[in-house]
Amino acid sequence: MSAERDVEELIAEAAAAPVDGWGFDWLAGRATEERPPWGYAKLVADRMARADAALDVDTGGGEVLAEVPHPPKVLTATEGWPPNVEVARRTLRPLGATVVAVAPDSALPFRDNAFDLVVSRHPVRTDWAETARVLRPGGTYLSQQIGPGTMRELSEAILGPLPPPSQRHPEQAIAAAEAAGLRVADLRRATLRAAFSDIGAVVWFLRKVIWTVPGFTVDRYRDQLRALHHRIAQEGPFLAHSQRFLIEATRP
């Protein structure tokens, strides 16, 4: 098989693979990414075990929430991407969780002071005012967020040189949380190594993590994908780095 045919087959395979939910099992054996040292799922499980009513914002397919061994009496999740809503409902049904479809950038459809715990892993955007509103006094918001310039090496491999990142800085999150009346109790940061072993892994990742290359399609960036394929063939796995931060805030 020629190298040219090989790249087209890898791209076609990844372009046809499903990207519903928020699991990354399709990348097994094809890409790796370090995990943050704080263990988000364990932190969530610990807090859920002590909560009476909890909300998971932007639950994806419910994969992280499904790992909670002792859910609270009231467990609710929101999701804004329609294909994920049904996935999350199936995944979280054994926990007795309610999954609510919420349009992006809309208010949370819950009463004031509804939850003593709100969590969110990699939210699209944190609405700090709404988070504070639905939290009870003494309640906690715990979130693992995407940091500035995450996967920048991969973005630039497709798009070319980019300006310094202006969004998703932890300092911006702290300021927004405090402006909403919350008190930041913990903030941790991590830079994590990611490696892509073939161009199919890159294509699938870009289709799923859509902010890496906004508006990504295979046809639009085929030349760049072919060039990156040859780079991987010559140099080995393509390396990039994801940025993460953990923020925990309480409502006084």
Condensed to tens digits (0 to 9), the pLDDT of residues 19-65 reads 987 779 999 999 999 999 999 999 999 999 999 999 999 999 999 99
| Dist. CA 106–CA 120, nearest whole Å | 16
Looking at residue 2, its pLDDT comes to: 43
The separation between the first and the last C-alpha atoms of the chain, rounded to the nearest angstrom, is 64
- Give 179-211 pLDDT, tens digit per residue: 999 999 999 999 999 999 999 999 999 999 999
Query: CA 149, CA 159: separation in Å to the nearest integer?
Result: 14
What's 11's DSSP letter? H
Q: What is the mean pLDDT of the chain?
A: 95
Please give, one letter per residue, the 3-state secondary structure of 145-177. EECCCCCHHHHHHHHCCCCCCCCCCHHHHHHHH
Contacts of 246 by beta carbon, 8 Å cutoff, 6+ apart: 36, 38, 40, 43, 142, 143, 144, 145, 186, 187, 188, 189
Domains of the chain: 3-250 (3.40.50.150)
Q: Which two tokens stand for residue 113?
A: 């002071």
Find the helix or strand (DSSP H, E) in which 179 lies: helix 170-179
Q: What contacts 210, CB < 8 A, 6 or more positions away?
A: 216
Judge contact between 84 and 21, C-beta under 8 A.
yes
Between CA 173 and CA 62 the distance in angstroms is 24
Q: Is the pTM of this model over 0.75?
A: yes
Reported as a pLDDT band with limits 50, 70 and 90, residue 1 is very low
pLDDT at res. 104: 87
Q: State phi, psi for 120 to the nearest 5 degrees.
A: -165, 125
Pair 237, 197: CB distance under 8 Å:
yes
**Res 210: pLDDT:** 92
Question: In a 10 Å sphere around its CB, with 0-12 CB exposed, 13-18 middle and 19+ buried, how is residue 250 labelled?
Answer: middle
